[in-house]
A and B are shown apart, each in its own frame.
Chain A
Amino acid sequence: MMLNRKNTGRRAQLAPLMAITAAAAMALTACGGGSGTTGETSAAVQEQKITFIPKQLNNPYTDVVLGGGKDGSQEAGFASSQVVGPLEASASSQVSFINAETQAGTNVIVIAANDPDAVCTALGEARSAGAKIVAFDSDANPDCRDVFISQVVAKEVALIQTKLIAEQIGGSGEIAILSATANATNQNEWIKFMEEDLASNPAYKDIKLVAKVYGDDDDTKSFQEAQGLLQAHPNLKGIISPTTVGIAATARYLSTSAYKGKVALTGLGLPNEMRPFVKDGTVKEFALWDPAQLGYVAAFAGKALVEGKITGAPGDKFTAGELGDRTVEEGGVVIVGPPTVFNAQNIDQYDF
């Protein structure tokens, strides 16, 4: 309370400048920033800032997403866009970055949550300081963000992967899943849909999911998990890896081992990373959306939120630059587009 009173004192001197904009909410949250924060907010109409917080920096997939985000931010008219984030994809590592953005008075925070709940409190503080929260790639708890930009319909991503693996193993046999971290929101949702699909679709009745392992999006760990899968399950016929790091590490292991060509591999991968494995026959087909569009749409959604054009309510519409209109669906979800399947015929047409 002492601090608050001090702030009020300082504010009194600035009172003529601040006029009516000083909302009561600001007084509550401005403990740290003091009068500076309030000043910035009133000038924010011209100077809007957007910050992207990916799961992890220096991840090639993330780079493509962020590249799209940068383009989108420019086209949407943000004065500045920046990227901050942890070097390791762990549950709590994003919190300090969110706090820093809150203090800097950033207008839009775009985040791919490593853990839907771990970031929640920090995001809540950012929102009460006036920031709009756009989750992308991996959702935060819906209570703590305004909209979620989803690659594709989660179910569609899951179904395309079960379809690909079923085709590649000839409709019957044991399969396994090699995922990212055990608590990654997006992977877990896809895995849930895959399990449902495998259980309910009569075409898959002879396919048995025998294991789910986690390579933590780490090359070395994913590599060893792939080895372990093949040892623990001698009859394994296929692996689904719904993460770009996992599928590449597994592909590298398969292509250098006796299992090459005997065990099928599919999942979500980056064409540039998977090209050699598609060409040498280790991988027949895999899927992904265009990651750049994800960042691009997220930037436009952020802009629409800041300008008050959308609130994140179902039915809200906004224009995502050259990609055209997008509609907010149930649960505040915005869908970017359908996944693409890559194989030896078309992989050379893509460069990301």
Chain B
Amino acid sequence: MSSTVKHEEKPTTAGRTGGGSGGFGSLLRLRELPVLIALALLVLITFLNNPLFLSPQGIKDLLLNATIIVILAAGQTLLIITRNIDLSVGSMLGLVAFGTGSIFAAMPDLPILAVLLLGMAFGAVLGMVNGFLVTVAKVPALVITLGTLYVFRGFNNAWAGGKQYFAGDRPEAFGALSVDTVLGFPIITLLAIAVVAAVAVYMAGTRPGRDLYAIGSDPEAAKVLGIKVSKRVFLAFLANGALAGLAGVLYASRFNSVGATTGTGMELDVVAAAVVGGVAIFGGSGTVAGAALGALLLTTITSSLTALRVDKFWQQAIVGILILTAIVIDRLASLRTARKLRMSEARNV
């Protein structure tokens, strides 16, 4: 797997210094194509069976359902691409969401922007804990963040106890962020789109962003090339934490209650979204747009199966099948790329 990815990445890492990489750009885009087609088909079939699915309220619900997972998936992509992972996002979101509830309970007049920034800072600190442990202790992120998943959740349980904050405890304007729409898009969804766009530009168009791909393709080679691997990975964890923080604040805006169990189990949805969206779990390839589409697809499946009145017990099985399909497609695509590259290299020699 890693060797095929390496082949695929060579041209794109070269692309950052030189001009366009059209052929490979479209190849990369292919990874997202199946997701897009699946999403379109799903929405179409559901719509034909139940026109209410695409009523203004229906569309708004679909977008809102995806928003928080999209933001988390954007952060997760940064990490998975570097061959890392963060399983503690659900716990980080929970801590920040409960923190948001506490802040508003203590200082109801605090400007919303300040709360957003505070939440992101809080998340960034938690992300730094992960990043520090991973880069300094040199233990796989899977293990470290599995640990912090429980540690953060433990803090949340100790801090919150049975206390919950409800939507009624927060200013109306704050809740309105996830109710009011601009051009049909809820405000928090626009925020998520902005996040995805920013991360996408960073990853595709900046040197540190390209470094992340290089690190994920081959960490040793990246080090040899002079890339500051630890620093980049640490910053990726920090950024992921900040995004989990943002998601936590938005969670408090959208949902009624925040408490000790908020966000439990969310990490798996997030990783699933990234994988379904074509982000290779062994790092080195995938895009944040793909992960966002993956998130949209997974949340839309839940909504459409409910709208189609399919028994909800099937929903998890279907999500599982999708993950497996995504991995098979990913594997086939990289095998084919590897074969093509081998053939073209052979001819060139």
Contacts and interface: CB of A to CB of B under 8 A. Distances in A.
Contacts of B168: 275-277
Nearest 6 pairs of A and B residues by beta carbon: A228-B306, A276-B168, A63-B162, A252-B256, A58-B260, A231-B307
A62 interface: yes
Interface in B128-159: 157
B20 interface: no
Contacts of B57: 230, 257-259
A273 B259 CA distance: 13
B82 interface: no
B65 interface: yes
A168 interface: no
B162 A219 contact: no
B202 interface: no
B108 interface: no
B255 A252 contact: yes
Given A63-B162, A248-B257, A252-B256, 8 more contacts: A60-B257, A214-B312, A225-B306, A228-B306, A245-B257, A256-B175, A273-B164, A275-B168
B309 interface: yes
Contacts of A234: 52
B205 interface: no
Nearest to A244: B257
Given A258-B56, A275-B168, A224 B303 contact: yes
Nearest to B60: A257
Contacts of B218: none
A207 interface: no
Given A58-B160, A59-B162, A87-B157, A232 B306 contact: yes
Interface string B56-71: 1110110001000000
B303 A232 contact: no
Interface in A210-227: 211, 213-214, 219-220, 223-225, 227
Nearest to B178: A256
A325 B213 CA distance: 72
Contacts of A257: 57, 60-61
A231 B162 contact: no
Interface string B257-275: 1011110100000000000
Nearest to B56: A258
A219 B262 contact: yes
Contacts of B161: 58, 63
Q: Which of A87, A214, A220 is most buried by chain B, counting CB atoms within 10 A of its CB?
A: A220
A249 interface: yes
B264 A62 contact: no
A48 to B, nearest CB: 25
Contacts of B52: 231, 234
B53 interface: yes
A88 B264 contact: yes
Contacts of B166: 248, 272-273, 276
Interface in A236-293: 245, 248-249, 251-252, 256-259, 272-273, 275-277
A57 interface: yes
B206 interface: no
A62 B162 contact: yes
A227 B260 contact: no
A232 B308 contact: yes
A220 B259 CA distance: 12
B162 A58 contact: yes
A219 B307 contact: no
B50 interface: yes
B179 interface: yes
Given A58-B162, A257-B57, A259-B57, A87 B261 contact: yes
Contact of B260 (A87, A211, A228, A273): A87
B256 A219 contact: yes
Interface in B14-56: 50, 52-53, 56
Contacts of A219: 255-257, 262
A58 B261 contact: yes
B302 interface: yes
Q: Which of B60, B164, B308 is most buried by chain A, counting CB atoms within 10 A of its CB?
A: B164
A251 B166 CA distance: 12
A56 to B, nearest CB: 8
Contact of B256 (A62, A211, A228, A251): A251
A249 B256 contact: yes
A276 to B, nearest CB: 3
B151 to A, nearest CB: 14
A302 B50 CA distance: 53
A322 B261 CA distance: 35
A99 B168 CA distance: 40
B167 A227 contact: no
